[in-house]
Amino acid sequence: MTRILHDPQNSDKILQMTADTMFLVDYEGICVDLVVYANRGFFRRRKNLIGENFFNLLPEKTYSAIKKDFEKVKENKIVSSKNYELPLSEGTFYFKCIMQPFDENLILCQYRDITNRARTKLQLEKTNNELREIEKAAKISQWKYNYRTQIFSYKGYSGGLANSDHFKNITLEAYLEIIHRDDRAGFLIWINNILHHTSADTADTHEYRILVKKEFLFLRLKVLNISASEENKEIEGFCQNITDIIKLDENLGTITKAVNFASEDIFAFKPDGTLVFANEQFRKHYLLTDDNDLSAIKINKLPIKKELKERWMNIRSEFSQLTDIVRFVEEKPFPHLKEILAFDFFSYIIKDSEDEEIIWTFGRDISEQIRYDEQTKEVNQIMNTVLENIPLAISVKDTGNDLRYIYRNKVTYVSMKDTNVIGKTDFDIYPDEIAITYRNEDLSVIKNREPIIYSKEVVNNEKGKFIIHKQKLLVENGNRPPLIIVLESDITNMKKMESELISAKEKAEKSDMLKSAFLANMSHEIRTPLNAIVGFSRVIADTQNAQERMDYYKIVESNNSRLLQLINEILDLSRIESGIMEFAEEPINLGVMCQEVFDAHRFRTPENVQLLFEESDADLWIYSDKNRLIQVFSNLIGNAFKFTNEGSIRFGYKINNEEIECYVKDTGIGFPKEKAKNVFERFAKLNTTVQGTGLGLSICKSIVEKLGGTIWAKSDVGQGAEFFFTLPYIAPQKESVNEITAEEDDDSKDIELSEKKDTLILVAEDNDSNFKLLNVMIGKKVTLVHAHDGIEAITMFEEYKPDLILMDIKMPNMDGLDATRVIRQVSPEIPIIALSAFVYDDDVKAALLCGCNEFIPKPVSQDKLTDILRKYL
């Protein structure tokens, strides 16, 4: 076989095709010989380099680099092999230059063109740098896992462990320690599944969390290659830090929820009205469900008012530029939602990814704000009205503006030079003397931070002399200068009332002293009749003489009446002081009433004293309270009995214009005329030797005044006493008079018929002693049966069918009122007479309302009981 490469004839050809360009230069750089093979780039432009300085032919940058290395070869007799950059006008080239000593004076230089290889290398480096930046931006790293060594190797920029260009190693056991404990089992399962594969699968990805520097990172592993041998398997892939993606998804989810559950309507639509987005609140107001396809719905087809539909369809024209915001308020936008008064809308334009305009809108229900504004306006109007009409001068001064007025209502107590005060100071309004005083007060309030309060007497041209109460208060105003509020009020009447209260207090203290004296006297007044009652009750039981027994009985009876009168006066006083004394007005024949008073008192008249009723008009009817009038006459007559030892006591009445004047006159001991105004005071006793509570005349005064009249007295020592009182003359209607007259006639007939009957009376009384007393009073004339409570009363009523029932009110098990109501359901006709120690008007009314015919107060008067029995039997 022919050895072509060893053939000398082919050597030049081979060198032309493969050899480097070589040239010899001396130590100064002068080329002494040159061999150029093929077309060698830079040297193809030089026909002859011999005799020229090689270095001077090179560009400055190349010259500096190669000359430095040339000097080292020359001095150190070493070989230099380096690559150099050769910038030329047609481009940048790269060459390799090997320099080595040839002999003592020459250096051999080999030139090799490496432009294509250098450019490829630079492109690869550039590409690698770009990939590295991409990895950093995407937080991607490379990883390997060696099954036999169970070691992870990683490099790159996924964060956590991977943060450099060089591979680092970590054992599987150590790596598992930094994986979140909830993700460890899943990670091991994934690795084991990968190891059973023989090739990489694009689905071989896994996501998990690691803890680095107290922060959890989310990682995603992807398998790229699996290399396997009989002894080992190695997995290669990349890892991406997806923490930001996960957090972005979470934030996006949070934002989506916030938008969906926002209290505002949030929606978006195209300029042609096609809906793009709608949150839950929008769907609720516009009657859309989650199943509705928004892209198929136009906003003008929704259930809203016509004007709003038109505005939405034309709203694009309201934007002069894309950065504008269109805002408007629409009243009652939803015909089907009457409770919504108005909506406040904000609209703006955003272009989507396809550069299409989308109109985003926020709608807020401002109904509550409107209602609040209306309420605030109403409150402000009320406050303005109050401030302008309240009898209080109110003004406000700004301490940051020379104490100028910023508010003042219309009320004023001091004369002004100018009534329009807003924006002015005291010196613009008041005389200088007053203004200086006010300014000093203001400065004191500001300096001391304490209010000034005082009262003083002033004179006003219109109101004259009066007293004002003034307060100056400092009100902090946040970051702004504080305000001074001035309050002035006319307290003239209050001062007058204060004076009156002091006087009333003195009177009350005097009254309290009188009351204390009264209580001391009361002890005496109660014990005196009780002593006689208790003492003579025992004596009666031991006395055999009938006349003595009758005398003792009269003493007991007299003291009973005295004690009862005392208790009645105390009760009346209690009702007067508590304001519960009630009056029942009715038609009254005044003459007949006075005759009843006369009949009731004529047998109680003291010896040597004559009681006279001076009748003036026997047919005089008035409209008033009969019981109270009888009480007044009885108190006045009883008072006369105490102070008259001989002579007469006269009483009567007469018509005087539109009043009726009643009187009681006696010939008793009288009293000093200067005491006439004191006789009607409570607890007043002009003669302490005479028994009595000192309440009778006071009670008379209260009753007369309640009836619309007046009462007064005339007297002098030894001249007797005269008491007068007036009543309004109110004539009752004739029909009322006729009814009362007819009832009196019927009562007379009933009495005559009842007196002829044998009668059975049911007594409902829980107290055996009270029953025995009734039995003593009327048991010899009628038959009595005894029920101990309301339930027994109902049962015995049905069993015995009595002619009349005496019903005690307060009983156990069932009281008398409830028992009466039950009996009335069976028999509306049977007379039921209430007996009770509760004697107030409310108690009497309650008994009559439940069905009782009459009311007898305890202690029971035998005469009154007999009269009522005659009336109904």
* 3-state SS track over 480-542: EEEEEEEEEEECHHHHHHHHHHHHHHHHHHHHHHHHHHHHHHHHHHHHHHHHHHHHHHHHHHH
What is the pLDDT at residue 628?
87
Residue-level pLDDT at 784? 94
Question: Which of 443, 468, 490 is a domain's end point?
Answer: 490
CATH of the domain at 327: 3.30.450.20
Overall average pLDDT of the 776-797 stretch: 93
In this structure, the answer to whether residues 752 and 846 fall within a common structural domain is yes
Q: Of 447, 465, 490, which residue sits at a domain end?
A: 490
Could you tell me which of 445, 393, 398 has the C-alpha nearest to residue 415? 393
Bridge partners (DSSP) listed for residue 713 = 723
- Tell me: pLDDT of 116 over 90: no
Percent of the chain at pLDDT above 70? 86
Are 595 and 711 part of one and the same domain? yes
Collapsing DSSP states into helix, strand and coil, what is residue 292? coil
Mean predicted confidence (pLDDT) in 525-543: 72
Least confident of 29-43, 676-690, 829-843: 676-690
Task: Tell me how far apart the alpha carbons of residues 361 and 763 are, in angstroms, rounded to a whole number.
Answer: 89
Nearest in space to 341 (alpha carbons), one of 315, 314, 380, 372: 372
Number of domains present in the structure of the chain:
6
Look at residue 285 and tell me whether its pLDDT is greater than 70. yes
Chosen domain end from 490, 511, 539: 490
Average pLDDT, integer, range 115-121: 85
Q: How far apart are CA 541 and CA 533, in angstroms?
A: 13
Report pLDDT for 376. Answer: 86
pLDDT at res. 748: 44
Tens of pLDDT, residues 809-841: 999 999 999 999 999 999 999 999 999 988 777
Position 3 in a domain: no
Q: Does 500 reside within a domain?
A: no
Residue 753 has a pLDDT of: 34
Contacts of 567 (CB under 8 A, 6+ apart): none
pLDDT tens for each residue of 493-529: 888 888 889 888 888 887 777 677 666 666 656 766 7
Tell me which residue range forms the domain holding 205.
139-247
Kindly give the pairing relationship between strand 80-88 and strand 721-728.
unpaired
Tell me the H-state helices in 403-489: 426-429, 432-448
In a shared domain, residues 653 and 702: yes
State the Cα–Cα distance between residues 106 and 103, nearest whole angstrom.
5
Do 26 and 103 belong to one domain? Answer: yes
Q: Which of 19-33, 521-535, 714-728 has the highest mean pLDDT?
A: 714-728
Q: Are residues 727 and 763 in the same domain?
A: no
- pLDDT over 70 (residue 203): no
Number of H helices and E strands in the chain, helices first, is 22, 33
The single-letter code of the amino acid at 402 is: D
Find the mean pLDDT for residues 197-201: 55
Distances (CA, A) of 503 to 507, 517, 698: 6, 21, 21
164 lies in the same domain as 241: yes
**Within this chain, do residues 462 and 586 fall inside the same structural domain, yes or no?**
no
723 and 632 fall within a common domain: yes
User: Of 76-85, 153-162, 211-220, 438-447, which range is least confident?
Assistant: 153-162
Residue 534 inside a domain? The answer is no
Instruction: Assess if residue 827 is contained within a domain.
Output: yes
Indicate whether 536 belongs to any domain. no
| DSSP letter assigned to residue 733 | P
Rounded Cα distance between 70 and 62, Å, is 12
Q: What mean pLDDT do residues 57-62 have?
A: 88
Query: What integer pLDDT is reported at residue 517 of this predicted model?
Result: 63
Q: How far apart are CA 204 and CA 222, in angstroms?
A: 6
Q: Which residue has the tokens 């007299």?
A: 558
Helix, strand and coil content of the chain, in percent to the nearest 5, comes to: 45, 30, 30
739 within domain boundaries: no
Q: What is the structure's pLDDT at 828?
A: 93
Q: Does the pLDDT value for residue 347 go beyond 90?
A: yes
More confident residue, 69 or 127: 69
Q: What is the CATH number of the domain that holds 709?
A: 3.30.565.10
Specify if 194 maps to a domain: yes
**Residues 595, 717: one domain?**
yes
| 750: confidence class by pLDDT, cuts 50, 70, 90 | very low
Q: How far apart are CA 638 and CA 483, in angstroms?
A: 71
Under 8 Å CB-to-CB from 92, ≥6 apart: which residues?
A: 85, 86
Looking at the predicted structure, is the pLDDT value of residue 754 above 50? no
- How confident is the model at residue 668, as a pLDDT? 92
Residue-averaged pLDDT of the chain: 83
Tell whether the torsion through CA atoms of 819, 820, 821 and 826 is positive or negative: positive
Both 93 and 143 in a single domain?
no
Distance CA 866, CA 869 (A): 5
Specify if 85 maps to a domain.
Answer: yes
Is the pLDDT reported for residue 747 higher than 50?
Answer: no
CA dihedral 673, 675, 676, 678 (to 10 degrees): 170
Predicted pLDDT of residue 100: 94
Distance between CA atoms of residues 184 and 438, nearest Å: 84
Q: Are residues 716 and 776 in the same domain?
A: no
pLDDT surpasses 50 at 749:
no
CATH number of the domain enclosing 800 = 3.40.50.2300
Residue 418: band (very low, low, confident or very high) from pLDDT cuts 50, 70, 90: low
Closest by CA position to 297, among listed 318, 311, 312: 312
Q: Are residues 591 and 727 in the same domain?
A: yes
